[in-house]
Chains A and B, each alone.
Chain A
Amino acid sequence: EDQVTQSPEALRLQEGESSSLNCSYTVSGLRGLFWYRQDPGKGPEFLFTLYSAGEEKEKERLKATLTKKESFLHITAPKPEDSATYLCAVRSNAGGTSYGKLTFGQGTILTVHP
């Protein structure tokens, strides 16, 4: 069974203080690792998809990287509007041929103080 563990559970940063969020995964055949952002009372908002070790994606102050066992979401010079819960999810061969299922981690609650 696929497993996704995110750390830390919560992270408090000062505006401009860069940091990283971790997503460790155990899957039988990775078919994609996804990062989402979720604001209170809203659905997850898609950020990135990574498929193979060594891959990197960037969007504004966010950069996602992938190894064979974990992914990092790096936040450079964060602003208060970056405060949200960041979710990591994997799609794997464990779902048979449908590949529809995403397995999510518990999320990291990021708070950025001005």
Chain B
Amino acid sequence: NAGVMQNPRHLVRRRGQEARLRCSPMKGHSHVYWYRQLPEEGLKFMVYLQKENIIDESGMPKERFSAEFPKEGPSILRIQQVVRGDSAAYFCASSPGQGGSNQPQHFGDGTRLSIL
């Protein structure tokens, strides 16, 4: 499967723990985007990254959330000291070119995060 790969598919954490979500983009794609889908809400943009650079983090909460896309390896969305309100589905998407190019974003199947 050459699609966007996210893992784990399901993640359970207790309040106060850390959650790490991983995303491997499609082969040949160098741009990664993270979205969050809260229950009964639509997909909300969080952050846009290229290799080793954060391009747009306007949708990221100011505290506890961080994202990276290192030169080697997958993109990581990290949530520190999780709270119940962080329970959601987190989706990663990738594209081959910059956001303004004629390239759609292709999505993975998400990580369902549950906070106990």
Contacts and interface: CB of A to CB of B under 8 A. Distances in A.
Nearest to A45: B107
A63 B100 CA distance: 24
A107 B100 contact: no
Contacts of B44: 104
A4 to B, nearest CB: 8
Nearest to B46: A101
A45 B4 CA distance: 11
Nearest to A107: B42
Nearest to A44: B107
Interface in B46-87: 48, 55-56, 58-59
Given A95-B99, A99-B99, A104-B42, A43 B108 contact: yes
Nearest to B44: A104
Q: How many B residues are at the interface, by size bracket?
A: 20 to 34
Contacts of A99: 98-100
A49 B35 CA distance: 19
A98 B56 CA distance: 7
A100 B48 contact: yes
Interface residues of A, number: 28
Contact of B33 (A36, A100, A106): A100
B64 to A, nearest CB: 21
B105 interface: yes
A69 interface: no
Nearest to B59: A101
B105 A102 contact: yes
B45 A43 contact: no
Given A100-B55, A100-B56, A42 B104 contact: no
A93 B77 CA distance: 26
A101 B109 contact: no
